[in-house]
Structure 1
Amino acid sequence: MKILYGVQATGNGHITRARVMAPALAEAGLEVDYLFSGREPQGLFDMEPFGDYACRRGLTFRYRPGGRIDVPGTLFGNSLRELFRDIRKLDLGGYDLVISDFEPVTAWAARRRGVPSLGIAHQYVFNHRLPGGHQSRGTRAAIRSIAPVDTAIGLHWHHFGQPILPPLISPPRYPVTLEADKILVYLPYEPRDELLRWFRPFDDHRFVVYSAVDRPQTDGNVHFRPFCRDGFERDLASCAGVISNSGFGLASETVQYGKKLLSKPYLGQVEQLSNADIMAELGMATVMQQQFDPGQLAGWLRQSNPEPGPYPDVAGALARWIAGGQREAVSELARQLWSRYEVQTIAGDRLALERAT
C-alpha cells in the first residue's frame, strides 16, 4: 500500500505526531511519502524521519504576542489562490490512501480525486461532543472545511464515551529523573521581556525556555535554547515541571513523563480553551487564565509531581489497522486501546481517571 501523509506544520505537535507514526507505518510494511504545509521550509527542523519530503504553503495562523490569533494577519498572510492551485496540481497518482494530520492540501486533493482519506489529529475530536462550552456547530463545520476526510480519528486524554483514541506519542527516550529546581518552558508567542519579568523573581529555580533563538543564551536564572527535539526531550525527562500553552501534544507528554504542568491557554483559540477546561477537570494541570499570576506560579512550584502515566502503543495499533485494510470500526479500535490504558468513568459533572493495572 502506498500512502501520502499530509502534516499541518504550523505547530510542532502535528510534526511530533508524524515522527511517531513514521516508524510504525514502515514497520507495518507501508510505503509512505510525506508533505508538510503551513510553515516555511527553512523553519522545519529534525526532519530526518521523513526522507525526501515535500512542502507546500498551505494555511497558517498568525499570532499576536501572548498567543491571541492575529485575524487580519492570518487573512492577509494566506494566499487562497496558491492553496487552490496546490490542491489542483497535487499528483495523487499511484497512492492508495491519503492520511491527513489536519493538513488541507492533501485532504482536499484526495476529496477532489476520489482517493480514500483518513484523518488522524487531535482537532478531529471536535466532530464529537466534548465537556465544556468551547465547541459549536461552527467549530465542527470549520474542522470539516479545513481538512475534510472520509474517516476522521480524533485523539484525546479521555474518550468521553465516544470513538476517540488515546494520545499518539512515543515512549520516553530518556530515563525519567528529577532536577528539583529545573522548569521547562515552551511559550513560543510570549515576548522574551515578558518571560524574563515573570521568571526572574523566582531565582531559586532555573527556567529552561525553548524559543526562536539561534544559540543558547542565559539571562540570570532564565536559559533560552533553540528549538531541538532531542534537547527538548532530554530536558523534559529531567525537569521538575513544565510551563506551556494548552496544546495537546506537549500536555500528553507531560502525563507520560510524570511531570506537573502549568498551562496558559491562548486566548481566542477554541482548541486551547477546550483543552484547558478538560485538563483542569482531569486534574492534569494547573490552568492559568488570561494574565500571568505570580502567586499561582509560586503555588504551582511547590506542588509535587504525579506518577508517570504511559500510554498504549497507539501508533503501532493504527499502522496495523491501516495495513489490514481498516476492517475494524474505529469504535472497536478505541475500545481495545483504552482497555490497555485506563478505566474511564464520568461521575456527575466530574471526570475521573484511573489507570488500568
Structure 2
Amino acid sequence: MKILFGIQGTGNGHISRARILAKYLKEHAVDVTYLISGREREKLFDMEVFGDFMHRKGLTFVTKNGKIDYISTFLENSLLGFYRDIHALSLSEYDLVITDFEPVTAWAGKLQGKPVLGIGHQYAFGENTPMAGESMMAKWIMRNFAPATNAIGLHWHPYSDNVLPPIIDTTLQATDDSNNIVVYLPFENQQQVSAVLNQLPQYQFVQYSPELENGEQGNISLRKTSYQAFKQDLAGAKAVICNSGFELISECLHLGKPILTKPLNGQMEQHSNALALEQLNYATVIDKITTTKVGDWLAIAKQNEAKPLPNVAKQIVEWLLKGDWQQHQQLGKGLWARETGAQ
C-alpha cells in the first residue's frame, strides 16, 4: 500500500499527532510519503521521522497579539498558488490519501477521485460537538478547508460515532520533579506574556515559543520551541498555561496537569475547545493574559486526576491497514472503553 499523508503545519498539534502515527506506520509494510504545508520549511523542527518529506506553501492564518489578523492572513495566502499546487500534485501512484486538515492533499485527492481519509481534531466538529465563536464563514471553512471521503475526528468526549480519543504519545509520564509552570502561548505577544509573568516573582516559569531564544529573564526561563525539551519540561511541570489548542491540552489531561487556557481570539476551533473544557470541567478558561488572572489561578491550582489515554495511534494504524476505512464504529467503542487504562 502506498499512502500520501498530508499534515497541516500551522501550530504544532497536527505535526505532533503525525509523528506518533508515523512511528507505528513504520512498523508495517506500507510506503508512506509525507507532505507538510502551512509553515515555512525552515521553521519546521524535529522532522526526522518524516524522512524526505514534500513541502508546499498551502494555506495558513496570521496572528497578532493573541488574535487572528484577517488582513495579514488574506495577504499572506495565495489562492492562485494554492490552486496550482493542487493541480500539480499527481496522486496516480498512491492508494490512499490521509490528511490531518492539510488542504493541498485533501483537494488533490477530491479532484483526482482518490479515497481521502481525514484524521484530526477538526473532523470531530459534528452537530453534537460544543461550538463557540462560530460564524457561517467559520463553519464553511471547517467543512471545506480539507475535505475527506471518510473522517475520524479526535476529541475529549465521544460526541459522535466517528470521534476517537486524542492521539498522544502514551509513554509520556508525569515526573512532578519541579515547581516550574510551563507557559506555551505561541499566538500571543511574547514580550507582553513575559511582562505578566515577571510580576509574579514567587513562581518560576518556563516560557516556550518559536520566537524566543534560550535565556533567563528574572523568574522566567525562556526557551525556543524544541520537541524533546518541551516534553521533558511538561512531564515535570507543576501546571500549564496555554492557548486552547487540542494536542497540548490532551497531553496535560493524560498527565493530570492543572490547565489555564486562553483561546485564540477569532478562531472558532479554540473557542469551541474552551467551551468543551468548561463543560467537562477539565480546565480554567480566561479571555486575557493578565497578572491578576494568572496569579489568582496559580494561588488555587491543584493537581488534577490523570486521565490516561489509550494508544489511539497504534489502533488506528492496525485498523487502517485492514483497508475497510468506512467501518470505524467498533474502533471507537473499543477505544473509549479503554480510555482510563490501556497503552
Partner of 2:62: 62
Partner Cα separation in structure 2 for residue 83 and residue 132 of structure 1: 29
Q: CA deviation at 1:222?
A: 1.0
When residues 246 and 238 of structure 1 are mapped into structure 2, their CA distance, relative to the original with a 3 A threshold, is same
Partner of 2:49: 49
When residues 217 and 296 of structure 1 are mapped into structure 2, their CA distance, relative to the original with a 3 A threshold, is closer
Within 5 Å, which residues of 2 pair with 1:311-326?
A: 311-326=309-324
Identity of aligned residues (%): 42
Q: Secondary structure at the match of 2:64?
A: coil
Counterpart contact for 2:214–2:221, Cα < 8 Å: yes
- Residue 15 of structure 2 aligns to which amino acid in structure 1? I
Moved more, 176-185 or 243-252: 176-185
Q: Secondary structure at the match of 1:341?
A: coil
Q: CA deviation at 1:296?
A: 4.9
Give 2:184's match in structure 1, choosing from 178, 183, 186.
186
Counterpart contact for 2:133–2:267, Cα < 8 Å: no
Moved more, 125-134 or 22-31: 125-134
Counterpart contact for 1:166–1:338, Cα < 8 Å: yes
Within 5 Å, which residues of 2 pair with 1:124-135?
A: 124-135=123-134
Counterpart contact for 1:213–1:225, Cα < 8 Å: no
- Residue 286 of structure 1 aligns to which amino acid in structure 2? T
Q: Deviations over 1:8-55 (max 9, x none)?
A: 001100000100100111223321100000110000000000000010
2:200 is equivalent to residue 199 of structure 1: no
- Residue 22 of structure 2 aligns to which amino acid in structure 1? A
Partner Cα separation in structure 2 for residue 51 and residue 338 of structure 1: 32
Partner of 2:114: 115
Counterpart contact for 1:126–1:135, Cα < 8 Å: no
- TM-score in terms of structure 2 length: 0.94
Partner of 1:23: 23
Number of aligned residues: 342
Partner of 2:81: 82
2:258 is equivalent to residue 260 of structure 1: yes
Counterpart contact for 1:172–1:257, Cα < 8 Å: no
- Residue 53 of structure 1 aligns to which amino acid in structure 2? F
Q: CA deviation at 1:135?
A: 4.4
Partner Cα separation in structure 2 for residue 243 and residue 181 of structure 1: 14
Within 5 Å, which residues of 2 pair with 1:116-195?
A: 116-135=115-134, 138-173=137-172, 175-179=173-177, 181-195=179-193
- Residue 48 of structure 1 aligns to which amino acid in structure 2? E
Give 1:239's match in structure 2, choosing from 234, 237, 240.
237
Partner Cα separation in structure 2 for residue 163 and residue 295 of structure 1: 37
Q: CA deviation at 1:212?
A: 2.7
When residues 180 and 119 of structure 1 are mapped into structure 2, their CA distance, relative to the original with a 3 A threshold, is same
**Which blocks of at least 5 consecutive residues in structure 2 are unaligned?**
none
Partner Cα separation in structure 1 for residue 246 and residue 187 of structure 2: 16
Partner of 2:224: 226
Q: Deviations over 1:29-86 (max 9, x none)?
A: 32110000011000000000000001000001001112x1111111111111111111
Q: Deviations over 1:319-357 (max 9, x none)?
A: 011100126622221111101115xxxxxxxxxxxx89x
Partner of 1:280: 278
Partner Cα separation in structure 1 for residue 295 and residue 161 of structure 2: 35
Q: Secondary structure at the match of 1:170?
A: coil
Q: CA deviation at 1:170?
A: 1.0
**RMSD of equivalent CA atoms:** 1.9
Partner Cα separation in structure 1 for residue 147 and residue 293 of structure 2: 44
- Residue 52 of structure 2 aligns to which amino acid in structure 1? D
